[in-house]
Amino acid sequence: MTVQRRWELPDPPTPQAREALTAFPPTLRQLLVNRGIETAHAADLFLRPDERLSGDPNGIPGMDAAIHRIRQAMFAGEKVGVYGDFDSDGVSGTAVLSEALQNLGVQVTTYIPSRSEGHGVNRAALKALHDDGCTLVITADCGVGGISDGAAPKGLDIIVTDHHMPGDELPDFAAVVNPMRRESAYPWPKLAGVGVAYKLAQTVYQELGKDLPSDLVELVALGTVADVMPLIGENRYLVSEGLIRMRDTRRPGIRILASISNRPLAGLTSEDIAFQIAPRLNAAGRLTHADDALRLLSTQDEEEARTLAVQLDEVNQRRRELTEEAYSKVRERMADDDEEAPIIVTGAPDIPAGILGLVAGRLMEEFYRPSFVYSTYGDGLVHGSARSIEEFDAEGALRQSADLLTLFGGHGRAAGFSALESNLPTFRDRLHHLAVKALDGVDLQPVLAIDAEGLPTRIATELNSHMARLEPFGEGNRKPVFLARNMRVISSRRVGDGSHLRLSLAEPDTGFEWNAIAFRQGDNAGQARGEIDVAFQFQENDGGPNSNRPTKLELNVQDFRPST
C-alpha cells in the first residue's frame, strides 16, 4: 500500500511581495515567496549566499571556554584526541578538527567507534585515548546526553562540539559547544555537527590571526547535506561555498569517489552528495568501519584514495542488497493491521544494525507513518532505528520511553534506541499509546507541495537563467515541483525492474513533446493513458557516462493522475 499524496497549491504573492520582487519573473517570484522570501534584500541573500550569512562563532555557547582550553593545549604541547561519530556528519567533523589542528602543529589522534559500540562517547575509548597520551579530547557529532561527568579518566579533559538538542543539565566538561543550547542566541542554530566543528576551528584560527584552510569547507558541505540539515541561512552559504571548492577539489578521495559515482565533478550538486557520494561514505559506518571513510576524505595519496573509493563502492552495493533483503523480511512479518495503525513498530532477527534506519525510512515513505524497526541478535537486547513524519517526534517518544530503554538518541525525524528484549512488548504498547495521542485527528496523508503551475516550456523558459541560483537543493529548500495539466500520454512503458515508468508526454495546444521518468510508479502504469495532470521536477539527462549525446532537459514525474 502506497499512500496517495494530496497536492497542495501555493498561495499567490501578496501585493507587497509582488511589488518588492517585481524585478524577478513571475515563476521565480512565486518560488521565492513559497520559501518565505518576500523582500528584495532577503531574495538577494538567498540567490547570492555569501559571508553575510555567516554567524559570529563567539555567539555559540561554550565557544570561549573551548578556545581557552585548546590554546592551553597548543602552548603546552599536549596531544589531542578527536572523537567523531561514524556517520558522514561525524566523519566530516572529525576530518575538519583533526586537519585544522594538525595544520597548527598540534599532535592529533582520531577515534571513530564501530557501530557495535553505539553512538556517543564510551568510557573504554576515552581510556584508550588517555593511555595513548591524550590529555584533551574534542568530540564531533557524538551528542551531549550520552556522556556522563565520570566518563573521562582523571587527567583527560573533554570539549564537546555537537548540534543535537541537549538536556536540561550539561556535563561538567571543559566546554560544551552547541548552538542548540537553551541560552543560545546564535542566529543559525541548526548547523550540522561538522558545521559546529568548523565554527570552532574558525574561531581558533581567528584568535591566532591565521587563515583557516579554505578546503575544509568542502567537508562542511558534505556533512551538512549528508545529515539532511536545512539548507537555509548559514548552512546554505557553507554548502554553496563547499560545492564551489569541491568542483575543483585537491582531495583525491572526493574526486575519485565522484568519478566512481558517475558524477561529473565540474557540475557537482547537493543532490549528487545526497544520493551518490554520502551513501557510499555512510556505507562504511553501516557495514564495516567508518575509519575507511575518514581516510578517504583526508588522504593525499592517489592510490590509497582509489583503493578506498573502490572498497566503499563495493560496500555500498552490498548495503543496497541487504536493505532490500531486510525490507522484504520486515514486510512479510507485518500484520495487516500494522498498515492501518498510526505507527509502525516492527522487526526481524539478525538485520544488520546499520540497515535498520534505511528500512524504517522505506516504511515511513510507503505508509506515511512513524516507523520504528528493530532487530535481535541473541544477546537479550533489541536494537532499533526510527524514521518519522513531521507530525510525530521520534526522539521525544523515545525520551518518554526512557525507563524501558538502555540507550537512545537522535532527532525528531530520525533516532536510534536499544532495550532489553524483555521490555519489547511494553515498549511497543508505549509507542502505540503515544502515537494515538499525538496523531489523533491528524490527516495522515502526505502532502506534495506544488511550487507553481504551468506548461513545462513556459516555466523552463522563465527559469532558464535562474534555476542554478536556486541551488543548493535539499532539506528546507527542496527542488521545485511544478504542475502541468492535461498532458497527453504518447507512450508509456515500465523500465528497470518494472517499478519505474518511462513516458513521452505532449503539452496541450503546442504539442511539444517531453521525455519523462516516474520512479517507483510502475504500479500506476494503468493510469498513464489519455490526458494526465503531472507534478514534476526538471532534470538533465545526458544519457549516462558512456553517452556522447548532448544533455537534454526532461521531466522527473513526482506524481500524476488522470485529468478531470
Q: Peptide bond preceding 472: is omega within 30 degrees of 0, i.e. cis?
A: yes
DSSP summary character for residue 372:
E
Q: What is the pLDDT of residue 364?
A: 95
Mean pLDDT for the chain overall: 93
Domain 334-439: give its CATH code.
3.10.310.30
Q: Which CATH number fits domain 57-246: 3.40.50.410, 3.40.630.30, 3.40.50.720, 3.90.1640.30?
A: 3.90.1640.30
Q: What separation in angstroms does the CA of 269 have from each of 19, 240, 256, 553?
A: 32, 9, 16, 16
Q: Which residues pair with 161 in a beta bridge?
A: 177
Per-residue model confidence as pLDDT tens digits over 184-204: 999 999 999 999 999 999 999
The answer to whether residues 336 and 130 touch, using CB atoms and an 8 Å cutoff, is: no
The answer to whether residues 107 and 80 touch, using CB atoms and an 8 Å cutoff, is: yes
Q: CA 377 to CA 375: how far, in whole Å?
A: 7
What is the mean pLDDT of the segment spanning 134-139?
98
Give the Cβ contact number of residue 320 at 10 Å: 13
Query: Could you tell me where the DSSP H helices lie in 209-355?
Result: 216-226, 233-246, 252-260, 270-272, 278-287, 291-298, 302-333
Tell me: pLDDT of 130 over 60. Answer: yes
Burial class (CB in 10 A: 0-12, 13-18, 19+), 485: middle
What is the mean pLDDT of the segment spanning 462-477?
92
Tell me: pLDDT of 549 over 70. Answer: no
What is the mean pLDDT of the segment spanning 396-400?
95
Tell me: pLDDT of 545 over 70. Answer: no
Burial class (CB in 10 A: 0-12, 13-18, 19+), 534: buried
C-alpha cell of residue 485: 495539466
Q: Any residues with CB less than 8 A from the CB of 443 and at least 6 apart, and which? A: none
Per-residue model confidence as pLDDT tens digits over 294-333: 999 999 999 999 999 999 999 999 999 999 999 999 998 8
Burial class (CB in 10 A: 0-12, 13-18, 19+), 553: middle
Per-residue model confidence as pLDDT tens digits over 347-373: 999 999 999 999 999 999 989 999 999
Predicted TM-score (pTM) of the model is: 0.92
Tell me: pLDDT of 385 over 50. Answer: yes
Per-residue model confidence as pLDDT tens digits over 158-184: 999 999 988 888 888 999 999 999 999
Q: Where are the domains of the chain?
A: 57-246, 334-439, 450-562
The answer to whether residues 34 and 451 touch, using CB atoms and an 8 Å cutoff, is: yes
Q: Which fold has domain 450-562?
A: OB fold (Dihydrolipoamide Acetyltransferase, E2P) (2.40.50)
Q: Which residues pair with 541 in a beta bridge?
A: 552
The answer to whether residues 555 and 535 touch, using CB atoms and an 8 Å cutoff, is: no
> Which residue has 550569512 as its cell numbers?
53
Q: CA 543 to CA 552: how far, in whole Å?
A: 9
Tell me: pLDDT of 115 over 60. Answer: yes
Per-residue model confidence as pLDDT tens digits over 203-238: 999 999 999 999 999 999 999 999 999 999 999 999
Burial class (CB in 10 A: 0-12, 13-18, 19+), 234: buried
Q: How many CA atoms, within 13 angstroms, populate the side-chain half-sphere of residue 39? A: 3
